[in-house]
Structure 1
Amino acid sequence: MKNSILSTVTFVIIAQLISIVASSQTQLDSLPYTPETYLSTYEALENWSPLNVDEMWDVPIVPLNLEFDFPCFGEFATPGEIRLTDIGAGIEVFGDNGEFHLFSSSTVSISDILNVAATDTSITEGSTHRYVTVGTAPNRIFKLEFNNVGFDYEMALTELATSRANFQIWLYEVGTIEYHYGPNTVTDLEAIDYWPKPSTGISSYWD
């Protein structure tokens, strides 16, 4: 039977950054992370590179270009086992023990995010996935930015993508995970997801 551990942290969507930090603890804990939140100014990535994602992407699943192994839930994942997923606007991690983990930055309900085309007359920039690695070993940080993305749930209901958002996931070489939330045009949470409140999560699945 498939089991799961899910930790959710409620956040408020505002133009400033709300960062949710999950710091790794020990392998013996049922959920080896402690959530923290803090406020600071959102900074879009600079000197970023685009992920190898088709311009007309729809739920792309591609490896991330990590330059280090990432400790997760008491095991390690090599760069080839860490992938982008737009399910919940997140990252999939396959550990060396065969376990699967999901970092969902937009919704715990794992609703997909949406590619907003730049050809729309109301949109001057399309949606992109951007990344950069900063620092030196053993303290490097991989930063992934979901830039100007929309929400499938809203599109399915209204055939429009008026709600757009910018946010980032940071993976620290030491195992810390951060979610950063920036400028957005979300005015109605019920328009972008059926989940009763804004949330983010870290999930662990195993057989």
Structure 2
Amino acid sequence: MIFRSRRILTLSVIASLLLLPALCGFAAHADSPATPAATAPAKPAFNPNIGSSSGLPLPRFVSLRADEVNMRVGPGDQYPILWVYHRVGLPVEILREYDVWRLVIDSDGTKGWMHEATLVGTRHFVVNGQQPVTLYRHSSDGADPAAQLMPGVVGLIERCDPPSDWCRVRAGHTGGWLKRSEFWGVLPGEKLPAK
């Protein structure tokens, strides 16, 4: 019986010793001034004109980074490949973003998803239509021609100054001026470079 009471006493002492720090902490916490509850940062409002992952404007043009880029039917490697593009620099227009995937449309109107790593912000153009277009030495229809560009030719956009209908471009080693209506790869009224 003595053994039992000592055991009970010992257990009650141990229990009170274990509870003492908790009680002290509670008391200290209760005596401290009330701190306001942490609030979660406000979630920014959805803006369809800003990319949810990149924060860049939508829509916007980019170019293919490599000679082989897959377009998938959905935003992930598990989705089937819709097209394989073999044209470095080909412009595509980003319409939406989902994590590292971009919903794009090409100059023929085909839509699909591409991984952001396969795209680059350098601005290129592709000659649209069925007929060759004239690359002029100056931004005027009366200027001397610099070259004839066939449909499908891809080149670099150097400068577009709104409200002008002309953009300074480079196709291979030849530079000159093209009308915006004769190529695909720039938004209406867009200024390039943007700065």
TM-score (norm 2): 0.27
Higher RCO (C-alpha under 8 Å, 6+ residues apart): 1
The structure where strand makes up a greater share of residues is: 1
The structure where helix makes up a greater share of residues is: 2
TM-score (norm 1): 0.26
Q: Report the structure number with the largest CA radius of gyration.
A: 2
